[in-house]
């Protein structure tokens, strides 16, 4: 099992550009999550999907959109990137109320 | 919603000493409390977790205690080693209702173990 995978690993954008971060899991988990991690701020939830076909806002959803493409895949889109969105983005998945597994992260810089 | 406070933000110990990190939570309905370790440039990984029907759980050098009345839980690492140096995050979640098990994380503790 690959677990949770994310692409790309690194990305540099200019202000106003758009991009999609991809996430996939092969553990047959129902729930998937997107977090951002900034220095001293811990992990903040952007969006989550409790099951295929459902998505909901987390703590910091502004400037982002998500798509739960199927049970395996959950993508995060930045429509018009801003320097404030410079961060490390982690995708995670979970089955029921058990351990949550994280992907390796995407380091995004917006100039 | 849930709010998790974590202290201290940094902790420095000598190899062999014990380290304790404390967290408080606000939602009395929270019933699952994991601890994650994140090494530099890596993803967070679960090291131990506890559910609200248990007061203490131990796994080798790591233990977690939970006080539901006071709404706080703590991570205890004994006989620390340099490889324990990392950022540690506590989290809390409510397994029921519409929260779908969302985890709310503390701000993290940078643990440094000096040889």
In this prediction, residue B102 carries a pLDDT of: 83
From chain A, pick out residues whose CB is under 8 angstroms from the CB of B45: 102
3-class DSSP assignment, residue A4: strand
Share of chain B above pLDDT 90, in %: 83
Report yes or no: B101 at the A interface, CB cutoff 8 Å: yes
Q: Which residues 44-73 of chain B have a CB within 8 Å of chain A?
A: 44-46, 49
Query: Which chain A residue's Cα is nearest to B105?
Result: A43
In this prediction, residue B100 carries a pLDDT of: 57
Residues in chain A, how many?
Answer: 111
State yes or no: pLDDT of B98 exceeds 70.
no
Report yes or no: B35 at the A interface, CB cutoff 8 Å: no
Report yes or no: B100 at the A interface, CB cutoff 8 Å: yes
Contact indicator for B13, B115 with CB cutoff of 8 Å? no
| Span B64-85, average pLDDT | 97
| Low-confidence stretches of chain A (pLDDT beneath 50) | none
State yes or no: pLDDT of B97 exceeds 80.
no
Burial code (b: 16+ CB inside 10 Å, e: under 16) for A7-21 equals eeeebebeeeeeeeb
- Distance CA(A97)–CA(A24), nearest Å, equals 19
Residue B93 CB neighbours (<10 A): 25
In this prediction, residue B54 carries a pLDDT of: 84
Query: Which chain A residue's Cα is nearest to B108?
Result: A42
**CB within 8 Å: A100 and B105:** no
In this prediction, residue B96 carries a pLDDT of: 56
From chain A, pick out residues whose CB is under 8 angstroms from the CB of B53: none
Q: Which of B1, B43, B107 sits opposite A104 (nearest CB)?
A: B43
Q: Which residue's entry shows tokens 């090291």?
A: B47
| Span B40-65, average pLDDT | 94
In this prediction, residue B95 carries a pLDDT of: 64
DSSP state of A103: -
Q: How far is B108 from chain A (nearest CA, A)?
A: 6
From chain B, pick out residues whose CB is under 8 angstroms from the CB of A50: 100
In this prediction, residue A72 carries a pLDDT of: 96
Query: Which chain A residue's Cα is nearest to B92?
Result: A97
In this prediction, residue B52 carries a pLDDT of: 85
**CB within 8 Å: A99 and B100:** no
In this prediction, residue B110 carries a pLDDT of: 97
Closest CA to B4 of B106, B110, B108: B106
Report yes or no: B43 at the A interface, CB cutoff 8 Å: yes
Give the pLDDT band (50/70/90) at residue B99. Answer: low
Strand order from edge to edge, sheet including A19-25 = A4-7, A19-25, A74-78, A64-68
């Amino acid at each position: 099992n690959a677990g949770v995978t994310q692409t790309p690993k690194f990305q540099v954008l200019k202000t106003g550009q758009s991009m999609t971060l991809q996430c996939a899991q092969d553990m047959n988990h129902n729930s998937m999550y997107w977090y951002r991690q900034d220095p001293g701020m811990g992990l903040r939830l952007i969006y989550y999907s409790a099951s295929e076909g459902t998505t909901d806002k987390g703590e910091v959803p502004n400037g982002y959109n998500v798509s739960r493409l199927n049970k395996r895949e959950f993508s995060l889109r930045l429509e018009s990137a801003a320097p404030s969105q410079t961060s490390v983005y982690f995708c995670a998945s979970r089955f029921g109320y058990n351990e949550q597994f994280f992907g390796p992260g995407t380091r995004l810089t917006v100039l | 919603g849930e709010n998790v406070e974590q202290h201290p933000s940094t902790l420095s110990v000598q190899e062999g000493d014990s380290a304790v990190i404390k967290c408080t939570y606000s939602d009395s309905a929270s019933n699952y409390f994991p601890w994650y370790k994140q090494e530099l440039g890596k993803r967070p990984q679960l090291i131990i977790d506890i559910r609200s029907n248990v007061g203490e759980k131990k796994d080798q050098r790591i233990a977690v205690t939970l006080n539901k009345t006071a709404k706080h839980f703590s991570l205890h690492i004994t006989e620390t080693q340099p490889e324990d140096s990392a950022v540690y995050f506590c989290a809390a979640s409510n397994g029921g209702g519409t929260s779908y098990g969302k985890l709310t994380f503390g701000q993290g503790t940078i643990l440094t173990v000096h040889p």
